[in-house]
Amino acid sequence: WILLIAKVFKQYRSYMLTIAYLILIYVVTEFLGGNGTIAALFFGLVLGNSKKLTSLVGEIILRETEKRNILKPKKDGITVVSNTEMFFYSQISFFLKTFFFVYVGLLLNTSDTVSIAIGLGIAIAIMVMRYSSLFITRAYMEFDRSLISSTFARGLAAAVIAQEVVLNKIPNAEMIANITYSVIVFTIILSSINIFLVRGFAYKEPEKEVSPTAPQQE
């Protein structure tokens, strides 16, 4: 697809073509018995890192040609996703995430108190483990360290895996899915509270530093 965009569609905006190709990859992978979700993920990874990947391939080809005493100029990597396209895809991603989180909220069974309690316990454990990042980020500024340790919310990846469990009819799939949804909800809530507190303290500290000192009496 990188070669097609670079050689065939280079004069056109390939917004919908890329999405159509993504759907084709998903359908073909599922038809062949693979995991379409993972295939779509790798497709995105390849497109997002197209410049680096094509640059590495170009270097390998250049080394092979040098061994055969064939001189070829070194070429830069190919970037197939422009900033405008990235903005377009980010808007689609935002829409899908919003829809998906509403869907997760609808699937969360609040009457299953056991799953809710387990999910809350896992969310708290994730938060505590995230604080361990403070020990390996000592070289960073205090605000950055606090922000890193406060970012631990789980999202689409966990929800997609939970759906895979349900679709494959694994034993206790409903309970596993409900625990996963609980973890997503509680980690989002806890992470949001932590980030709010971190930003609140960050805004208060400069005020203390610039506060005027008491006037000296003559």
Residues 110 and 201 in one domain: yes
- The residue-averaged pLDDT of 51-71 equals 59
Residues 18 and 57 in one domain: yes
- Within a domain: 181: yes
Look at residue 167 and tell me whether its pLDDT is greater than 80.
no
Q: What is the mean pLDDT of the chain?
A: 75
Look at residue 173 and tell me whether its pLDDT is greater than 60.
yes
- Within a domain: 36: yes
How many angstroms separate the CA atoms of 41 and 161, rounded?
Answer: 13
Q: How confident is the model over 10-56, as pLDDT tens digits?
A: 666 667 777 888 888 889 998 888 878 788 888 888 877 777 766 66
pTM assigned to the model: 0.63
Q: Measured between alpha carbons, how far is residue 44 from residues 66, 89, 99, 100, 151 in Å?
A: 32, 11, 20, 19, 23
**Best-predicted range by mean pLDDT among 10-24, 102-116, 183-197?**
183-197
Last residue of a domain, one of 81, 105, 128: 81
Look at residue 216 and tell me whether its pLDDT is greater than 80.
no
Last residue of a domain, one of 46, 81, 116: 81
Q: Which of 204, 104, 211 is nearest to 153 (CA)?
A: 104
**Top-confidence residue, 216 or 34:** 34
Range of the domain at 130: 96-208
Look at residue 195 and tell me whether its pLDDT is greater than 50.
yes
Number of structural domains (the chain) is 2
Residues 105 and 155 in one domain: yes
- Give the per-residue pLDDT at 53: 67
Residues 201 and 111 in one domain: yes
- Give the per-residue pLDDT at 11: 60
How many angstroms separate the CA atoms of 74 and 57, rounded?
Answer: 11
What is the enclosing helix (H) or strand (E) of 190?
A: helix 173-210
Q: Measured between alpha carbons, how far is residue 53 from residues 9, 77, 134, 199 in Å?
A: 19, 7, 33, 37
Last residue of a domain, one of 81, 112, 143: 81
Q: Which of 92, 80, 94, 13 is nearest to 47 (CA)?
A: 80
Residues 203 and 100 in one domain: yes
Q: How confident is the model over 119-153, as pLDDT tens digits?
A: 899 999 988 888 887 788 777 787 788 888 888 88
**Top-confidence residue, 191 or 84:** 191
Backbone angles phi, psi at 12, to 5 degrees: -125, 155
